[in-house]
Structure 1
């Protein structure tokens, strides 16, 4: 039994995660050592040491999640604790939250700074996966199967928005959309849901227009201006984006060499967080960029492949949610530093500095590897009779859902 489980793990996925984390740790040191001394008066390896600690803690959590059966999270008590814990973390920000980047989204716990919004992403994924798994028989019933999860997700996004943290709120809502589309809802139900969301959005826009309130602050509006014409105000709205272009352009094919970046000498703000990929491009050239993109793409595609093969809705939705989260965060980060979308402060998964983000990702990856292992185990070692029984039960379940619809 134990040998079969060990053989069922996807070691290519595990290796990709390890390579990304190790590469990210090296690049955090390279991109932050100058700023740590010149900007904050710290030791050159300050951010490296903190990231290494987060990697160690996250590695332990990753191994635990690899072993711990993922279906245990279907327990209603565990789900309730996760939901209440998420809400309490978000509410606590209004009383003891720490402001960073003009958003009150951090909890200062002494040696550890925690960003609850990062952990809430996984909470929403677990909640939606568990709820839609239990609602499969009546998932197309709007009042009973559709609205409750939607209300919870909207509630969480509201608390994140008023920090304000538009980037995290957008990621959570996008993850929810991906999971809803893969939940088994019929097309008519999805269209009803889309019309409801669009109507609500238009009502909010009209209300804000009539009341004269601005959706975005002055700083957030400046990010849109910076994307529209970054070279129009090089020392102002376009400063970050222009220096990101300089870093990417000067790297060329081979790069300037590891540790040889010029932009990290105070020219490119947040060189170890939001714009770490620009430093990678400058120091390691196109080869470094391709290395990261290939590994990220491999993990994302592997996650969706696991979702396709998994035979139970909970595991499928977990894999979809986790894979979507990594894909969306990667696209937003890369879009920001290349000027395709406004800069949002979203870190690059596994690479950017940030203990909360890395911890969330490693816990999520542990769950994904766990789902993959159980899926491979069932495919390889489950008896044919058991597979047929499972298939029949799934067919019957779909027939019941269609008849109730």
Structure 2
């Protein structure tokens, strides 16, 4: 039994995660050593050591989630802990939250900073996967199947938005969109959802303007991306120096540890703009190394979703893969000037304990779904479908055609 389980793990997926984390740790040290000394007065390896501890904790969580059966999250008590725990963490920010980067998104615990919004992403994925798994038989009934998950997601997004943390809000919303599309919901129901979201957005806009949710610093990022060189001393400063870093790297880079921009010119060189340092030091080959591994993980996750015959497992895989893809695209879009800078870290690479811990927990869960899918395919006889396969497995139209015969 144990041998069969061990053979069912996708070791290529595990190896990709290990390679990215190891590479990220090296680049955190290279990109942060000057910042640690000159900006904060720390030891050169300060951020490296903290990232290493986060990776060790995340690695332990990764192994636990690889072993822990993913369907246990369908248990009502566990699901309640996930849902109410995430809401409680977000609510605590209004009382003990710490402001950084213009957003009250952090909780200080001793010498550590915890960002609840990171863990809420996975909570939303688990909740939506569990709800849509349960609602397969009536998923197109607006009152019972469509509206309740939308209300929960909307409440979570609202709490994150008013911190304000637009980047995390957008990621959570887009994850929900991807999971809704993959849930097996009919196009008509998805259209109703889109209309409802648009109406809600229009109604919410005056409130955002009235309350002044976005700080001057966050609003200035739109000016910076529109014309960074015209605002090079203020809003466009980081973006212009990101361009310099990327442009000077060329094909092979200046060499590991040889970045010039990390010497105070690129303030967030080990977090939001770590890919710019990678481009400067390792050139296009370093950038391609990261992009290929990230693409492999995302595509492998969607492949797991397609093979899985369990709606809950399928939606977990879709949600986790979408989260990594969306986060990577936002980060890369920000440092290349395609979108405003949002403070979203590059998955597995950027410095950040909360981020790396969330990602490793999520990847452990994805590896677990992959293992059970492979195990069922290889060692168990096919079981007749008793639940409606969802969109990434079979089109929902099949259900309607079969019911008419």
Bucket of the pairwise TM-score, normalised by the shorter protein: over 0.9
Structure 1 residue 216: deviation in Å?
3.3
Q: Does 1:26 align with 2:57?
A: no
**1:263, CA displacement in angstroms?**
0.4
* Aligned pairs (5 A) from 1:214-293: 214=212, 216-293=214-291
Whether the 8 Å contact between 1:136 and 1:401 is mirrored in structure 2 is: no
CA shift, 1:111, in A, is 2.3
The match for 1:127 is 127
Matching residue of 1:330: 328
Residue 402 of structure 1 deviates from its aligned partner by: 8.2
Shift in Å, 1:403: 5.7
Deviations 1:7-46 (A, max 9, x none): 0100000000000000000000000000000000000000
| Displacement of 1:237 | 1.4
Partner deviation per Cα, 1:291-317 (whole Å, 9 max, x = no partner): 000000000000000000000100000
The alignment partner of 1:99 has SS state of strand
Q: Secondary structure at the match of 2:233?
A: coil
In the alignment, structure 1 segments of 5+ residues that lack a partner are none
Can you list the C-alpha shifts for 1:70-107, whole angstroms capped at 9, x where unaligned? 00001111011111111111111111111111111111
Mapping for residues 32-111 of structure 1, pairs under 5 Å: 32-111=32-111
Shift of residue 381 of structure 1?
Answer: 1.0
Cross-structure match for 2:193: 193
- CA drift at 1:390: 2.6
Residues 207/64 of structure 1: CA separation in 2 closer, same or farther (3 Å cut): closer
SS at match of 2:384: helix
Return the alpha-carbon distance in structure 2 between the equivalents of residues 177 and 375 of structure 1.
Answer: 24
- Describe the SS at the equivalent of 2:105: strand
CA drift of 1:217 comes to 2.8
Q: Secondary structure at the match of 1:98?
A: strand
SS at match of 1:390: coil
Structure 2 unpaired stretches of 5+:
390-395
SS at match of 2:147: helix
Alignment of 1:318-397 (within 5 A): 318-383=316-381, 387=382, 389-391=383-385, 394=388
Preserved CA contact (<8 Å) 1:34 1:264: yes
Cross-structure match for 2:160: 160
What SS does the corresponding residue of 1:343 show, helix, strand or coil?
Answer: coil
Q: 1:393–1:230: structure 2 CA closer, same or farther, 3 Å change rule?
A: closer
In the superposition, the TM-score normalised over structure 1's length comes to 0.95
**Cα distance in 2 between the residues matched to 1:219 and 1:346:** 15
The alpha-carbon distance between structure 1 residues 3 and 243, as it changes in their structure 2 partners (threshold 3 A), is same
Q: CA offset at residue 127 of structure 1?
A: 0.4
> Deviation of residue 339 (structure 1)?
0.2
Q: Is the 8 A contact 1:29 1:47 kept in 2?
A: yes
CA contact (8 A) 2:276 2:335 kept: yes
**How many residue pairs were aligned?**
398
2:162, 2:213 within 8 Å by CA — same for their partners in 1? no
Query: What CA deviation, in whole Å up to 9, does each residue of 1:103-156 have, x standing for no partner?
Result: 111110012211000001000000000011001011001000111111000001
Q: Distance in 1 between matches of 2:86 and 2:268?
A: 28
User: In structure 1, what is the Cα distance between the partners aligned to 2:165 and 2:402?
Assistant: 40
Distance in 2 between residues matched to 1:121 and 1:205, nearest whole Å: 23
Equivalent pair of 1:226/1:342 in contact (CA under 8 Å)? yes
Residues in 2 aligned to 1:402 and 1:161: alpha-carbon distance in whole angstroms: 43
Match for residue 392 of structure 2?
none
Work out the CA distance in 2 between the residues paired with 1:393 and 1:125. 20
Is the CA contact 1:137–1:401 (under 8 Å) kept in the aligned structure 2? Answer: no
Flag the 1:160–1:394 CA change in 2: closer, same or farther, 3 A: closer
